[in-house]
Structure 1
Amino acid sequence: MTEQLTAVVTGNAATVLDACCERGRGDATAVECGDRTVSFRRLLDQTCAAARGLTGLGLVPGDRVLLALDDGPEFLAAFLGALRAGLIPVAANPGAPVDDHRYLLADSGAAAVVADPGPAAALVGSGVPVVAVGVAEGALRYDDLVSDPAFLAPADVDPDDPGFVLYSSGSTGRPKGVVHRHRDLSVTAATFGARVLEVTGEDRLFCTSKMFHAYGLCNNLIFPLWFGATAVILPGRRDLPRILDAVEAYRPTLVASVPSVYRALLAVPGARERDLSSVRRATSAGEALPAAVFAEWRAAHGWELLDGIGSTELLATFCSNLPGRTRAGTSGVPVPGFRLRLLAEDGTEIDGAGRGALQVSGGTAFSHYWNDPERTRRTVDGPWVSTGDLYSRDEDGFYTFQGRTDDVFKVHGLWVSPVEIEDVLTAHEGVREAAVVGVPDGSGLTRITAYVVPSGDPDGLVAALRAWLPSRLRRHQFPRSIEVVPDLPHTVTGKVQRFRLRERS
């Protein structure tokens, strides 16, 4: 699986840049970020400078460094610099509320912070050094931190040593620190990057998710660096017209996004007339891609969206539709290098077609949850990781998302999958987005509540849906209540936060 990789890394993951330079990619463009371009050799210099600067703050191998940075060369240099120094970068959303940053700082026990001006200013006085990329009163200057780009040998680490921490997206509550090893980066590249995307040094990768999230880290850092390709990074807020403008202007060959963004992009005026012909492969993850969205993109631009599933715990996409082997509405088949199994309610493994709780085994699996051994014990079963997802598998081995295991519920003694109802709701022309939850009524029985975001005029939508749904749903799936709302609560990665809807019901 490594024959396609420009960089084969067996120890400290940050040496990926050394390998790229040694294999003749030093002067090639590693990053395009707005009007800035950075070569692999220049990024190696910046990484060495960041590593030296962080150790100059008194940090020692094993210390955590909180990174609350927007995507850009600074994030790459700080992340890889921390790895190079044997430190453990902890990626955080720079746009999150101040309380979230304080929580992550306390939970991770980070010994230093490198952040954009907003979070940097908020964390000054927290008892650890704070470095600002930009100006923040009381913070150290990033430019001073990285003032010495002389080569710095990487710290000697074992591939199985803790490498970095990502916090889960919080679709089910408080984010959890997920600890990954150095080797997980290389295995991610050698599996999904090599076997599904088939990345080469000629590719240009663009992802709408930020690098503090696993999906963004894979597509904006891991795949470009491990294959000597170019990361096309759009800093700042990625609103829909800017995304379309970026694809037209920067001509990426590989695009990664999430279903909610793919759906919304086609609603932008003129989106179907845009020149997006540079893209040879596009992937979707984060939540199930509706079959209707798959069909619309194929009709509009000829894109065969490769829908799949990954997780913070697995880092990589471990199940995906494959080029030339897609089935709309499914998450595809296991990516080479991963094993999947379904467990029945009694914990026994399901053979052949069936529906059950999904577990995954593969070389990218996390080592543990930070400061949460009990959750680790509940999630890790030997080589298997419980995803918390309920999936069905058909006779051809394709997997279809049925909801989170804690989202499904029983009505009249029959199991209800919110996703099945949501797919029917979003097939109606008047519905742009939908979410379904089960809530107890006054008698303690579970009733179904559907929240719908209208695609146009909401007048009469509820009545239209009540007339339209009975022929498309089983009786026990029919929503007792349908509420029209202007939007749904999402995580920063686009997943619907059903627990917030349950709180509202």
Structure 2
Amino acid sequence: MSQSHHPWTAFYDPSMRTKIETAQYRTIGDMVSAVSHLYKDQPAFTACLPNGMNGTLSFAQVDEMSDGLAVYLRETAGLKQGDRVAVQMPNGLSFPVVAFAILKAGCVIVNVNPLYTAEEMAHQFADSDPQALIVVDIFADKLTQALKGHPIPNVIVTQVAEFFPAMPRGIVRLVQKHWDRTLASITLPHIRLPDAIAAGHQESKRNDIAVEGYRGALSPDDIACLQYTGGTTGVAKGAMLTHANLMMNMEQTMEMISGVEKGREVALTALPLYHIFAFTVNLLGFYYLGARNILIPNPRPLSNLKRAFENYPITWMSGVNTLFNGLSNEVWFQDSPPKSLKFASAGGMALQSAVAERWQDVTGKPVLEGYGLTESSPVITFNPLGKTRANSIGIPLPSTELRCVDETGNEVPQGEAGELTARGPQIMRGYWNKPNETAKTMWDGWLLTGDIGIMDKDGYFSIVDRKKDMVLVSGFNVYPNEIEDCLARHPGIMEAAVIGVPDGASGEAVKAFVVLHNATLSPEAIRAYCKKHLTAYKVPKTVEIRDDLPKSNVGKILRKDLRQLDAAMRDAS
């Protein structure tokens, strides 16, 4: 069936393209340079700290700085086209400069969660083999341990208030150093980000080097990003996303967002830019539109967002269910909701209908839900503005096909549940160095999502269940295998199993069931152990100590039985 005959196309806006043949720009670097020239003197990014300090870069400044860093990476650091560069930083002015520089240089960005433990960092570094690491200084205390088994030849260090005016930057540094005591001493050889940019500019002038040469050697099908995900098996894998994948998905998504005005929008980015939804939609999409992007380094507590809403006319924001739920319950937000807001978009986890209704009541504007995966760059579906349906993930983007299939891969009748499979220009090339894992997830151009869904008579889709055991904590994927492996390394634990349980604050929470070697080990001690080895959102919120765990006849621990047991206990309480 051709896409024009899919039922959901009837709900496309008449003014939008129903099919996008090719992206407007060949590569992300081409887009950045062209858009920067178009909006050169307008503010592109403003980093807004909770203490009121802020800094802003124009489109021209972002372009000029990223050019300098691109030359540094290629000429001074000696990186080649296709080399990986790990980036580990929260939202801030450094992020777009660094990301665009890597992509202009023809290198591959590897987004790394800055909250990762040294063990988690080491695993991702070993798999992606980066030739450079760009890291924020407040997290650099883990570098020595993380790089012990896999040294990275080039380390560039930035700071939270990088590119702020001198006075607020100095104040922030003093507070970090003497009050918060968050600045770690860095013993590894490194260079500061502004110095690397300056060195790149000097090299460019000295040898008449043009960044356009790096971009010109690239193909749209070259890899732009390795975005790590646990996929359907729980094994950490890097999804290979090409320039074409990301550019097409950006244009597909922007096509669905009616009512935006180029050069006039103000977007609030509270989601971390290292998360694929924020990377594609907030970073790339709103740069493409010439929007001003208000970057929030840390949205917790939610009062950290207060000054951003007070000081800037926010017209659009993205978030997860927990963010919208939390803001709707903040007194300061209820008393003064953003008057300039046009709409908000939700991704990363299911949007609860009660939260969507409350958000509409408080702001007077809708929150639109979409659906996607890291492997699809990430957006597959979106609820069209004015045609939103409750409890639905919306309709497929232009040039995207979505179907529900049975266990044999055959499409099920409309209205029946089946595994969602997607095909389109945003689907990844495959997993980095894991052809067997790629073969399990992709078939004949179709991506097997692992999620069970239903298409209604009009072509709107909804998720009814997740096939995989993944736990979704505040929009972040948590994989039981990883936590179970961590627990199994504790000398006092004999067996462990992990499931997700409903949680009002984060959507789901991690719960661990353990059988002990050491009967004196307490749940609190187990959680404390996990905090040393896992990022905070992966740490079990509750630990239940048991005499045994349910198993199959071959000895496999049955997580589904534990889920049923936990549900029964909650129903009885």
Q: TM-score range by the shorter chain?
A: 0.7 to 0.9
- Helix, strand or coil: the match of 2:468? coil
Distance 1:438 1:68 in 2: 29
**2:91 maps to 1:29:** no
Distance 2:227 2:506 in 1: 31
Cα distance, 1:244 vs structure 2: 4.1
TM-score, normalised by the number of residues in structure 2: 0.70
Structure 1 equivalent of residue 226 of structure 2: 165
Structure 1 equivalent of residue 212 of structure 2: 153
1:322-361 matches, within 5 Å, as 322-361=384-423
Cα distance, 1:342 vs structure 2: 0.4
Cα distance change of structure 1 residues 172 and 197 upon mapping to structure 2, 3 Å threshold: farther
Q: Is the 8 A contact 2:88 2:112 kept in 1?
A: yes
- Equivalent position amino acid for 1:357 in 2: E
Cα distance change of structure 1 residues 160 and 28 upon mapping to structure 2, 3 Å threshold: same
- Helix, strand or coil: the match of 1:299? helix
Cα distance, 1:27 vs structure 2: 1.2
**2:111 maps to 1:111:** no
Distance 1:436 1:481 in 2: 16
Structure 2 equivalent of residue 95 of structure 1: 115
Q: Is the 8 A contact 2:70 2:105 kept in 1?
A: yes
Structure 1 equivalent of residue 104 of structure 2: 84
- Helix, strand or coil: the match of 2:62? helix
Q: Is the 8 A contact 1:25 1:228 kept in 2?
A: yes
Choose 112-121 or 29-38, whichever is displaced more. Answer: 112-121
Distance 2:321 2:337 in 1: 20
- Residues 468-492 of structure 1, C-alpha deviation per residue, up to 9 Å, x if partnerless? xxxxxxxxxxx3221899xxxxxxx
Q: Is the 8 A contact 1:132 1:140 kept in 2?
A: yes
- Helix, strand or coil: the match of 1:177? strand
More helix by share: 2
Structure 1 equivalent of residue 186 of structure 2: 136
1:61-80 matches, within 5 Å, as 61-80=81-100
Q: Is the 8 A contact 1:392 1:399 kept in 2?
A: yes
Structure 2 equivalent of residue 15 of structure 1: 30
Structure 1 equivalent of residue 333 of structure 2: 271
TM-score, normalised by the number of residues in structure 1: 0.79
Q: Is the 8 A contact 1:451 1:483 kept in 2?
A: no
Choose 373-382 or 68-77, whichever is displaced more. Answer: 68-77
Cα distance, 1:44 vs structure 2: 0.8
Cα distance change of structure 1 residues 86 and 435 upon mapping to structure 2, 3 Å threshold: closer
1:242-257 matches, within 5 Å, as 242-257=304-319
- Helix, strand or coil: the match of 1:33? strand
Pairwise CA RMSD of aligned residues? 3.2
- Helix, strand or coil: the match of 1:146? helix
Q: Is the 8 A contact 2:229 2:236 kept in 1?
A: yes
1:105-254 matches, within 5 Å, as 105-124=125-144, 126-134=151-159, 136-138=186-188, 139-147=190-198, 148-149=200-201, 152-155=211-214, 156-168=217-229, 173-196=234-257, 198-199=259-260, 200-254=262-316
Cα distance change of structure 1 residues 62 and 236 upon mapping to structure 2, 3 Å threshold: same
Choose 178-187 or 124-133, whichever is displaced more. Answer: 124-133
Q: Which structure ranks higher in relative contact order (CA pairs < 8 Å, sequence separation ≥ 6)?
A: 2
- Equivalent position amino acid for 2:91 in 1: D
Q: Is the 8 A contact 2:414 2:454 kept in 1?
A: no
- Helix, strand or coil: the match of 2:211? coil
1:408-423 matches, within 5 Å, as none
Q: 1:50 aligns with which of 60, 69, 79?
A: 69
Q: Is the 8 A contact 2:232 2:468 kept in 1?
A: no
Structure 1 residue ranges (4+ consecutive) displaced by more than 6 angstroms after TM superposition: 169-172, 435-440, 442-445
- Helix, strand or coil: the match of 1:261? helix
Give the paired residue count.
Answer: 438
- Equivalent position amino acid for 2:249 in 1: T
- Equivalent position amino acid for 1:399 in 2: F
Structure 1 equivalent of residue 59 of structure 2: 40
- Residues 296-343 of structure 1, C-alpha deviation per residue, up to 9 Å, x if partnerless? 111121121111111111114211211111111111122222110000
Structure 2 equivalent of residue 261 of structure 1: 323
Cα distance change of structure 1 residues 248 and 355 upon mapping to structure 2, 3 Å threshold: farther
Distance 2:302 2:156 in 1: 31
Structure 2: stretches of 5+ with no match in the other structure: 1-15, 49-53, 160-184, 205-209, 471-501, 514-548
- Helix, strand or coil: the match of 1:82? helix
Distance 2:425 2:39 in 1: 27
Distance 2:142 2:508 in 1: 36
